[in-house]
Structure 1
Amino acid sequence: MAGIYLHIPFCKQRCNYCDFYKETSLQHTDRFTEALITELRLRANYLNGASVHTIYFGGGTPSVLSGDQFQRIFRVLFDRYAITEDAEITLEANPDDLTPAYLTMLTGLPFNRLSMGIQSFSDTELKAVNRRHTARQALEAVKDARQAGFQNISIDLIYGLPGQSFEQWMQNLQYAFELEPEHISAYGLTYEEGTGLWKQRARGLVRETPDEVMLKMYRYMLLQMSSKGYEAYEISNFALPGFRSKHNSAYWDLTPYLGAGPSAHSYDGSSRQWNISNLMRYMEGVEKEMLAFERELLSERDAYNDYVMVRLRTRAGIGYSEIVERFGPEMLSWCKLQAERYIQTGHLQLTAKGIQLTLEGIEISNSIIADLMKTD
């Protein structure tokens, strides 16, 4: 199995917490679409004919593209790649783009899942991070998507936003549950270097939410998710039964995937590569059939560290037999040795197949992951 990720690098305005590559000018969307199509043709053998069970249009804001542009992209995807009949095909979208007319257009395309970047149901919080939609538009987008026939909707939320109180976070979750999305991704706000929010903090214009409040928000969210029937299948991802994200799960299972578009990453099982993070240079290179990318061959240690980093965040956790199969018995011995003290302190627990984080472990997951990695 394999996946395909398409990076659509356009945003109508720049959110001040986001460090993903994007452009705020939309003047090159059609030229970009043709370049993306060309890259998909040039790299048709990257997945070695593997069946593709997930396609994800991410960004950026893919919902700035037109129906015609999507149709041209899908034409090459289904012509050159082995897309399964039950493939999950996700469009990442901004709520204010999802008008009834736009949603009607989407129903005529292969999309069967929407991922909405809602982040908050408070206009004050949305303005604080320079989101361009309103709380009302977010609510209407989900309802309109239902009316259009979409039965697999994911929404993104952020907790710890500037000025956000615990009570406001409780209210955001209540709004989310009332919409009954099949999937919710909820992330604690991070201040990424170089972003607008990072610069505002440096000037004393915003303050980070205290760690103890962030922890309280997360714990409350876990309890509420469970009470509403959402499975916490990864630290920040929650799904109703049968609605885990195939796209996310493919990353965590280390399934090979092709990433197309500027800054997009690809993984073939033995190496990773990433396209140049520059729209003009990306398009110029593709037009000359000279792809601009960097590639890294993965050592056994690199591959093990990748496995620990993604799998320990999941509910399944780390499988001992899987480590032996992938990396050999010596790496398993290392993993067990490093894990032992966290098992003793209750931050890790043994399962039938290996180890997983406890609730207390989730709270210090980054430290545990770092200690289980092989550094020499």
Structure 2
Amino acid sequence: MAGIYIHIPFCKQACHYCDFHFSTSQKYRTEIVQALAQEIALQKDYLAGSPIETIYFGGGTPSLLDANEIDFLLEIIDQHHTITPGAEITLEANPDDLSAAKIQALRHTPVNRFSIGIQSFFDEDLAWMNRAHRGQEAETSVKLVQDAGFTNITADLIYGYPLLTPAKWQHNIDTMLRLNIPHLSAYSLTVEPRTALASLINKKQTLPLNDEQSAEQFTILMHQLEAAGFVHYEISNFCQPNQYSRHNSNYWKGVPYLGIGPSAHSYNGLSRQWNVANNAKYLKALQTNLIPAELEELTTENQLNEYIMTALRTIWGLNLQQLETLQHGSGTKLLREAQHFVARGWVEQREQTLYLTQAGKLYADHIAAELFF
């Protein structure tokens, strides 16, 4: 099994915190869609014929495309790959794009899952982020998607930013639960270089982020969603039982995937490749039937570290025997290195698998980095 990710590099406006590749101009939208189709054809052998069980439209803002454009790209995938029955096909969408008419049009495509970028239900917070929607639009979009018959829905929330008081954070969590959204991705805001947020903080036009606030809000989130019956199956992801994101879960489990579009990444277990993060260069390459990608062959050390970084973040944990299949003796070495985290109560061992405790989830990146080979 394998997955396909399609990067749609357009946004209405630039969120202050975002460092993903996108353009606020849709001047070459038609050309980009055609180039995506062409790249799908050129990359048809990358996954060596593996059946496709997940397709994910990310970005950028994929919901800027109309239903016909999305359907066209899915038809091209179907021409070159075997899509499994019941495949999970996700569309990232902003609330302001999800009109009743747009959702009804999408009902006639194979899209069966929505990832809605809510971030907050407070207008002042959304304005601070420079989001294009408002809080009421977020609620309305969820209800419209549900009324249209879609049940496989996830939404994003952000925490750890200066405007987010404890009361606001509680309201955001309560609203998500009230709307009966079965999956939630929640991210601690980070300041990425060369973003508007970094500039605003440097100019002292907004307050810097506070690690203690972020940790407190993450802890509240873990406790509240666990009490509501959600499974915390990956550091940033929570779901009602059996409502995992199949596409993202496959990333963490090391399942191969093909990335299509400018800046998209691909992985087949032995190597990684990534496309140029420039729309004009991407188009120029595809016009000459070239794949605009750089390739990195993964060493055994790369593969070990990749597995440590992804597996430790999940409910399925880091299996020591899996490490041994990559390099003899690596499981024993890692277990020895992990003992001081076990002693601190951040990691627990059950048989041949290591898991982060709830306390350890606050330090996931640090723990993984310390265990790298």
TM class, shorter-chain normalised? over 0.9
Give the Å deviation of 1:329.
2.6
Give the Å deviation of 1:365.
1.6
Equivalent residue, structure 2, for 1:324: 324
Q: Does 1:336 align with 2:335?
A: yes
Equivalent residue, structure 1, for 2:5: 5
What amino acid is the match of 1:101? Answer: A
CA deviations over 1:86-133 (Å, ceiling 9, x no partner):
110000000010000000000000011000000000000000010010
What amino acid is the match of 2:273? Answer: Q
Give the Å deviation of 1:28.
1.3
Give the Å deviation of 1:351.
1.5
Give the Å deviation of 1:3.
0.5
Structure 1 length normalisation: TM-score?
0.98
CA contact (8 A) 2:71 2:110 kept: no
What amino acid is the match of 1:346? Answer: G
Give the Å deviation of 1:211.
2.2
Q: What secondary structure sits across from 2:315 in the alignment?
A: coil
- Counterparts of 2:229 and 2:344 in 1: how far apart (Å)? 29
Show the 5 A alignment for 1:97-116: 97-116=97-116
What amino acid is the match of 1:126? Answer: L
Q: Does 1:86 align with 2:77?
A: no
- Counterparts of 2:66 and 2:364 in 1: how far apart (Å)? 41
Equivalent residue, structure 1, for 2:74: 74
CA contact (8 A) 2:10 2:60 kept: yes
- Bigger mean CA offset, 219-228 vs 299-308: 219-228
CA deviations over 1:269-301 (Å, ceiling 9, x no partner):
100000000001101111210121111000000
What amino acid is the match of 1:223? Answer: H
Equivalent residue, structure 1, for 2:365: 366
Equivalent residue, structure 2, for 1:192: 192
Q: Does 1:315 align with 2:312?
A: no
Q: What secondary structure sits across from 2:157 in the alignment?
A: strand
Show the 5 A alignment for 1:1-376: 1-325=1-325, 327-374=326-373
CA contact (8 A) 1:266 1:272 kept: yes
- Counterparts of 2:68 and 2:216 in 1: how far apart (Å)? 46
- Counterparts of 2:362 and 2:65 in 1: how far apart (Å)? 39
CA contact (8 A) 2:320 2:332 kept: no
Q: What secondary structure sits across from 1:306 in the alignment?
A: helix
- Percent identity of paired positions between Structure 1 and Structure 2: 39
CA contact (8 A) 2:160 2:211 kept: no
Give the Å deviation of 1:324.
1.3
What amino acid is the match of 1:367? Answer: H
Q: What secondary structure sits across from 1:79 in the alignment?
A: helix
Q: What secondary structure sits across from 2:329 in the alignment?
A: helix
Q: What secondary structure sits across from 1:321 in the alignment?
A: helix
Structure 2 length normalisation: TM-score?
0.98
Unaligned runs of at least 5 residues, structure 1: none
Q: What secondary structure sits across from 2:359 in the alignment?
A: helix
Unaligned runs of at least 5 residues, structure 2: none
- Counterparts of 2:335 and 2:303 in 1: how far apart (Å)? 17
- Counterparts of 2:355 and 2:333 in 1: how far apart (Å)? 16
Give the Å deviation of 1:171.
0.9
CA contact (8 A) 2:300 2:327 kept: no
CA contact (8 A) 2:161 2:210 kept: no
Give the Å deviation of 1:357.
0.7
